[in-house]
Amino acid sequence: MATLAPAFSPKHMDYQRIFEEINEEIKNDAPCGEVASYIPELGRVDPNKFGVHLTTVNGEHYSFGDSDEKFSIQSIAKVLSLAMAYNMEGEALWERVGVEPSGTPFNSLVQLEYDMGIPRNPFSNAGALVIADILVSHLANPKEEFIRFVREVSGNNEIDYCTRIAESEKSMGYRNAALINLMKSFGNIKNDIDVVMDFYFNLCSIEMTCKELSRTFLFLATYGICPETKQTILSVSKAKRINAIMQLCGFYDEAGEFSFKVGLPGKSGVGGGIVAIYPNKYSIALWSPRLNKKGNSSKGIKFLELLTTKTQASIF
């Protein structure tokens, strides 16, 4: 029977060498896609930035490129707001939002009317607005308490919102306003629309480096327990379920394609970030602001596809 070559054995995985090898392969590719400009402040980001950071469950770190530069994590924060709301609301949460892939763009309105104001999943904008509404119901000071939770999970007290980006998104937030108004008309938003939207725009504005992001998401590779502090962030079952939703819904109408090419649960954001989880092995964050037509980082997906191909390791 064939045995695994040492470079492919999980114990001997030389991620640094693999990162360099992937970079050699893709560095001369023509730049693909555009930065998101519907949020004016995001349109000012240098499109050619590129960073990667992988944190293993054993605390090893591997990085490449602009991995220490902060960027706007945008929709990636929806995983953290879901984790917090799931802990507070328990299974009742699924009465207000589904767990099915939407097959539609992140800001789509079309399904919502057919579905009587119940979003297909918590990672579409509509779903994340419902999650934001749930947190506003539970928390006396949503912004303060949510960022405290994020700091706890990330083990980093410096993580913060970016008011400039939140205000910039608010100035152009017409589609999110349409989504939340439609859901309010169906009774699936309980709080004042402006309060929920303000909280939502702020949570999307959180900034992290690739290193901070991969460290923050490590708890989803370790069945809900923060490997450093041993603190339980989520139960094993809730961590499994959030990974499952990332697998099915983390990349909007490109979730199938991402599973097909990469084979890991993950979540993207329109700031060009991607986080992906290999349960029991690692959490990896990538940042490349040029987005493809589906709103996901082109180079980030390519890099991850090559990573799971070269390491011959994905969850499938």
Q: Which residues bind ligand GLU (CB under 6 A)?
A: 74-75, 106-107, 125, 169, 176, 204, 269-270, 295
Dist. CA 261–CA 254, nearest whole Å: 11
Task: Give the nearer residue to ligand GLU in terms of CB position, either 107 or 232.
Answer: 107
Least spacing, CB of residue 79 vs ligand GLU, in Å: 11
Task: Give the nearer residue to ligand GLU in terms of CB position, either 18 or 286.
Answer: 286
Dist. CA 104–CA 107, nearest whole Å: 8
Residue nearest ligand GLU, CB atom distance = 75
Dist. CA 191–CA 91, nearest whole Å: 20
Task: Give the nearer residue to ligand GLU in terms of CB position, either 36 or 139.
Answer: 36
Least spacing, CB of residue 56 vs ligand GLU, in Å: 27
- Where do we find the tokens 């030389």? 14
Least spacing, CB of residue 11 vs ligand GLU, in Å: 36
Least spacing, CB of residue 73 vs ligand GLU, in Å: 8
Least spacing, CB of residue 250 vs ligand GLU, in Å: 10
Task: Give the nearer residue to ligand GLU in terms of CB position, either 22 or 132.
Answer: 132
Task: Give the nearer residue to ligand GLU in terms of CB position, either 14 or 34.
Answer: 34
